Structure 1
Amino acid sequence: MKTFNFFKHQKIKTNQPHNYPIIDLTVEQVRKAIRTFTDQLPKGVYRTILVKEDNEIDFNQLAHILGGLPSEKFYMSKETYDLFTENEKLIAYEVDVVQKAVDQYVKENKAFPVLPYDPLKRINYFELMQKNLCKTEPQTQFYLTDLDGMISHVKPDIKTTKK
């Protein structure tokens, strides 16, 4: 099997065995490797080429940057590019489903699916399900961020002010 090597613009065989060591990595080390990888991609090619269908990161494409393959699996949202560890892999899948649903909801309704009085800006799954944009209610609570309609699983800080 042959694929295109984005770094040398030469054909390489992907079924050739590589003797990369197994290494322990942090999310920050993976994030840095993905940035390096992304900086080397040709125009019009996105980092989502690193993400398998199950949201697992394909480290065979990053091993040359990292100097090895991770001892644990990592996952990435194709919609928000957030990174997740093995025990958070459900979040990677759910954020993609909910972000797509929120984007479609905004396109159809010119508003975000959040309750107007909610200071946390929690995504209203009932509304998304009523509009048939989500089939089931996600296990993870997502929040609308201040970044151009993007969602996050991180609960925002609500700063209270005394009057």
Structure 2
Amino acid sequence: MFWSKRKKKKKQYPFIDVTIQDVRNAVITFSDRLSKGVFTTILVNEDNSIDFEQLAHIIGGIPTKNFYMSKETFDIFEEEEKEIPATLDSVQRAVDGYVKQFKQPPIITFDPNFRVNYHVLMQEGFLDFRPDIPLYIHKDGMITHIKPSK
């Protein structure tokens, strides 16, 4: 007797225009539906672009433009800011390592915005480049590219 194997057809989704908020909402919905032990990082490709094949069923299609996401902070960016997620990932790992070793955040002394001190991270071997943008540390230890409001 012959067993026939049917190839599961991949559903074709249309290309659609979406906003960054649409993408954020889709990622949140996707994340909420994940099984225990599965992380949102499965959406992020090596170049930090978002794999929309996994989100298409939620947003109703494949976006006409690329979006990018940090694997560490889950911040989402559009094409013109696509270099920021990789920077966030590197600096967040560096900050985490520094805090684990020194039990304090690597912030610029007396900076009211808690700006990350790249010099100390590089000096201590946690970071091998100096980012072009300022990053800030939240109270929860997560970094952001958004300057805190007073």
Give the structure-1-normalised TM-score. Answer: 0.84
Number of equivalent positions: 144
Q: 1:39 aligns with which of 26, 32, 37?
A: 32
Q: Distance in 1 between matches of 2:32 and 2:73?
A: 17
Match of 1:113 in 2: 106
Deviation at 1:95, TM superposition (A): 0.2
Q: Distance in 1 between matches of 2:28 and 2:35?
A: 13
Match of 1:4 in 2: none
Query: Does residue 20 of structure 1 match 2:13?
Result: yes
Query: Does residue 87 of structure 1 match 2:76?
Result: no
Q: Distance in 1 between matches of 2:138 and 2:103?
A: 17
Q: Residue by residue, what CA displacement relative to the aligned partner does 1:80-123 show, whole Å, maximum 9, x if unpaired?
A: 11111111111111000000000000011111111231111110
Q: Distance in 2 between matches of 1:35 and 1:144?
A: 23
Unaligned runs of 5+ in 2: 1-6
Deviation at 1:17, TM superposition (A): 4.8
Runs of 4+ displaced beyond 2 Å: 16-19
Q: Residue by residue, what CA displacement relative to the aligned partner does 1:24-61 show, whole Å, maximum 9, x if unpaired?
A: 11111111111111122111101110001111100000
RMSD (CA atoms):
1.3
Q: For residue 151 of structure 1, what is the amino acid of its counterpart?
A: I
Match of 1:155 in 2: 147
Q: Distance in 2 between matches of 1:122 and 1:40?
A: 35
Percent of residue pairs bearing the same amino acid type: 52
Q: Equivalent residue of 2:47, what SS?
A: coil
Give the structure-2-normalised TM-score. Answer: 0.91
Deviation at 1:18, TM superposition (A): 3.5
Q: For residue 102 of structure 1, what is the amino acid of its counterpart?
A: V
Query: Does residue 101 of structure 1 match 2:83?
Result: no
Query: Does residue 142 of structure 1 match 2:135?
Result: yes
Query: Does residue 127 of structure 1 match 2:120?
Result: yes
